[in-house]
Structure 1
Amino acid sequence: MNKVLILLSLLIFTFTQATNVNAVTQEDEQIARTEYPTNTLYKIWLDQQINDNAALDFYNTLTEKHILELNKENKATVTYFAKGSDDTEYIMQSGGPDFYGLRFKQIGKSGIYYCLQAIPLDAWFAYGVNEFKRIKVQGSTDLEKTVMEHIYDGAVIGPNAPLSVHVQYRRGVPKGTIHKFTLESKFMNEKREIQIYLPADYNQNVAHNLVFQLDGQNYSKGAEQDPIWHGWTPLPTILDNLIYEQKIGPTIAVFIVNQGNRSKELISERMTDFIALELLPWFKENYNIVSNPKNIVVSGPSRAGFTAANTALRHSNLIGSVLSQSGSFYYTLNENRNWPIYPEFEGKLLSNYKLSAKKAIQFYLDVGLYDLGLAVVGTNRQFRDVLQLQGYQVDYYEYKGGHSHLGWRHTIANGLISLIGIN
């Protein structure tokens, strides 16, 4: 009797599943085509009519939580996916061309959500996804509160993104070495950790370029570490490749590691003096450094880009090259005075360069178009224009990316070649 009941149940289930397909009307299909405009999304919805777990099954096959598809016009569409929970109110994506982020939609009655983003073929950017939940307040019968939970991070790389060939380790390319030192600094009033990159077959008899790399802990790793969306750039590998290819001459790099309050340190004059008046003399005493200040580079991203330009302005007789990646030039040095999205006041460094006489400095500036609008893109363009009007040598580059090492790792080689490249 039990076998008969089980067989009957299976027949009913199979019949129900089969009839679900027939239950999809032409009107349903038209609505679904609008709601799920890509072929992938439409197929997931269609499969969901037969199998309640279709969306979840598809989600579980994804190694990255997004897919990139090209349409007939050869344009790119990114579909992001996220798994909700019983408390999900909504889910948001941030990163890429959409400044204010994108809100996810639910696929039918499944627990899987999606959102769509049109991107240029040469875009590359990191993104994050956050879930906003409605949680009942303990001790209350009807009050709820919204809490945010970060779900995951990822990186989108368009098929035509201008990726650098220098970021990957290559067989046959000699590897430089990393050495750690701790110096007593009177300007910083503390012991400072630095890491030094020496090129392969370092020769004390040969004069070397010198690169001071700020945010050094994020630049000192090799190419084979961590996912690409993590906050790091494999500068040792990049230097190995550039030196081997004779794109730049023999070069030493100094990774200045952040300590204490990074936000205040990097926009302080103490940091500029530490670099120019303590670190540089120490290196000239212990290593063979080219005497021309233009072979001395201060490099940094974001706030550290401000530091690089400020160091050169204050000590142009010692340091003659600035490499800035997404430099934060909107700072007034009174951080309560500027909200970077709508900066009310002009950045202090921009004013200082406008008011100062031209100095013997050369610049490489780059910035991603998806980087905080006026605050970063706008002020980098303004800084470029100020410098060019004063007659400075400026190499300026914009790309379709955001404020992250995903872009910086692929553009820093351009800056090094621009400033200390072998003609």
Structure 2
Amino acid sequence: MAVNTSAEAPIPVGEVSRLIGGWIDRLGAIWVEGQITQLSRRPGAGVVFLTLRDPSYDLSLTVTCRRAVFDEISDLVGEGARVVVHAKPEWYAPRGQLSLRATEIRPVGIGDLLARLEQLKKRLAAEGLFAAERKKPLPFLPQLIGLVCGRASAAEHDVLENARLRWPAVRFEVRNVPVQGAYAVPQVIDAVRALDAHPEVDVIIVTRGGGSVEDLLPFSDEQLVRAVAECRTPVVSAIGHEPDSPLLDLVADLRASTPTDAAKRVVPDVGEELARVEQMRHRALRVVRGLLDREEHGLTAALSRPSMARPHRMVEEREEQIGALLDRSRRCLRHRLDRSEDELAHTRARVVALSPAATLQRGYAVIQREDGTVVRVADEVADEEKLRARVAEGEFTVRVTR
């Protein structure tokens, strides 16, 4: 229920705490899962105090229960164990503190853990967090490697030692964090995010040695899996041994079976790389020599050809052919001109012989009317009609008298 307040009519802090307690009282009993981080059983006391922690959210709650309730499971649980508690939330108004009063405590068995992990695995896979296309390739030669591991652990020693044996110049940015227990998840997440934000880190290795399912449980935490999926830097998971497979292995860009295997996967071996370089040099030298030999043989063969041995010979042959073609063209042209000249003379003679002018030269005349028509019949003219007489050397006018 909302409370009516204003700047003129505020309520005191104690009233706020009392109202919160009233709201929490209406919540009723609930089932809560968490990890026991602190356990207090004072001799002779009828109440047992627990601190129940959620590793994913770095949050703790105090749990109280009757000693008889805890004695039922005292042989099965201890600090670090995961339990399910049926409890009533309580608010202590004077201090503003939330706690749980438990009426039943159940340990979480391996079977329950594995079943929940399988459900979480299916849900994250459905979101595409394990998809192969999301995997980022590792750099060939990382200049700075981020390492998340336990302090002075065997996993840290294996990664650093094997990496430096393979490439002595490689550098590491190490983040030592708890790798099991209630505080592991938030600190591993912080370390991964810090290394991902580091501008010089090329790849991140998250590693720890082997252990039980409970020991490796932080590396199957949903928050850690999502944090690794959001990384822009490639992440290598090297958790436990070959049979161990936390969810971090599935979301990481590369899964290494052991910390030593992680060092071998991330850092190339300087001896092997030098051998490959030398092999490539010899191969390149053979290829270049083969190319030069082939080109030299081709050049020798080309120089041995007659056209290259006597390059002027081709010009001389072409000169003779051109001279012969010129003589042939001159003869053909002269022959055509002579024949055309004869044909023209014969044609001219025929034209002259058939020309009307030749007839007029023999004394004939052509009589035409004034409109230019030729008179062929005497009856076509009339008396006194003027006609034009055309002779070989000019023309004159005549008049018909009869």
Question: Do Structure 1 and Structure 2 share a fold, with TM-score over 0.5?
Answer: no
TM-score using structure 1 length: 0.21
Which has more radius of gyration? 2
Structure with more relative contact order (C-alpha pairs < 8 Å, separation 6 or more) = 1
Give the number of the structure whose residues are more often strand, by fraction.
1
Give the number of the structure whose residues are more often helix, by fraction.
2
TM-score using structure 2 length: 0.22
